[in-house]
Amino acid sequence: MANSLLKELLQPSMEQYEEETTGYGIDNIEYASLEMMEAAAEVDRHEQAAAELQEISAGLESISESMAASLEQGGMDPVAAQFAHHAVGAYTERLGIEAADQLPALESFGGDTGRQSSTEVSLESIGETMSKVFEAIRRAIEAVIKAVTDFFSKLFSNAEKLQKAVGATLKKVKDAKGSPSGKTRVPNGDTLAYQGKLDMGSVTTGLDKTRSVYNVMSTEYLAAVTKGKKEAAQVLGNLAPADTTDEFKKAFEVLLNYDKELKTASMKAQGEISGGRTISMEEKGEGDDVYTETVFTKADKEKKPSSYEIDTPSRADLIKMLEVAQKIAGDLKDSKKNINNAVDVYREVHKVTDKLNKDAKGGKLGKAWADVKARRAVNRASRNVVRPVQQLSHHCWSVTRSAVSMAEASLKNYKSE
């Protein structure tokens, strides 16, 4: 089934990327939380579309290479053509394009002349589709950058509000009279739980670990992102408009070293945090194009709390939890410079790779673009490696807000002596 967003990106309307404004203000933490959730969902939506388009592009490119290779043996025969129909359709139908619209009918591949000419027609047709997909990928990446920028803009405008909300609840706890009694049902218990436990010791430990991971990712990891993206933009931006194969290879080496630096920083941030989440690394690509991608995901053995009701926490335990939560809110606010630097250089490298794609389309890159490492270097440079920090930031917001909710719920069970 075709993905409607992919179809939009393939044939965008003129109004698609106009700025939108809202006519209301965010007056409290609940509205801010809803705004953060919507902004995070928008990033996910465009990120998934970009990833799917890149997968489609890689698939069509592989099919195209196989077709081109068959020309040395006179082109595809009817059996190979049938396989090609199925393979092309598996990708283009996700864009709302039928394989029959891309390739000649199977009977056209009969005889030596028919095989040769029909294969050439197929290559030309797929090439046109790939060109449209490249344009769609460019638009998708621009949409991702805009969504990420909007997310962090909302994060920073609301972080101080979150910090003040924690401070207000912390004061209420310190001023609370009476003693804790009975049970408290923990709101958003899955978000606060650490290793499947909701006792106050586990919750506070989870918050401490969450803060530690965020500090590594928002400093060392983002420093590697900014440095690597900037170097890649410089190398790719200085390519001469002729045979630049060696320069592309140099850029590819820069990106390989950059991936190693990201991996080194990510390894320091591994380990389960609140909500059964973790920073981990996944191997992507194949052959000499294997790279490590940092992802924010569920822990391998994520556990759910056996119960969401706990003995109402003591004042001391609530204070300890909220003090860590307040520090996390402060860390979110203080990470603004590092995050903005990383997003800015991501935008910068996209402009460079966008120009290279246009130069390649216009034939300005000569033989260089035929080298697989050239396209790999451009695709590698275009990856959104800020994504795990964006996801972790949203998680930190949710965890901090949940700590406030837990404390507020607990205060209702304090009885005067």
Q: Which long-range contacts (CB under 8 A, 24 or more apart) does 84-89 make?
A: 84/122, 87/59, 87/63, 88/60, 88/63, 88/126
CB proximity list for 76: less than 8 A, separation 6 or greater = 67, 70, 84, 109, 115, 118, 119, 122
pLDDT at 27 over 60: no
What gap in Å lies between CA 329 and CA 189, rounded to an integer? 19
Q: How confident is the model at residue 367 (pLDDT cuts 50, 70, 90)?
A: low
Average the pLDDT over 362-389 and give the result: 75
Task: Report pLDDT digits (tens) over 116-175.
Answer: 999 889 888 888 888 888 888 888 989 999 999 999 999 998 998 999 999 999 999 999
Query: Using CB atoms within 10 A of its CB, is residue 367 exposed (0-12), middle (13-18) or buried (19+)?
Result: exposed
**AA identity, residue 135:** E
Nearest 5°: CA angle at 269, between 265 and 275? 150
Torsional sign, CA 246, 250, 251, 252: positive
Helix, strand or coil, per DSSP, at residue 180: strand
Statement: the pTM of the whole predicted model exceeds 0.85 = no
Lowest-confidence region among 196-210, 233-247, 322-336, 382-396: 233-247
pLDDT at 180 over 70: yes
Place of tokens 């950058």: 145
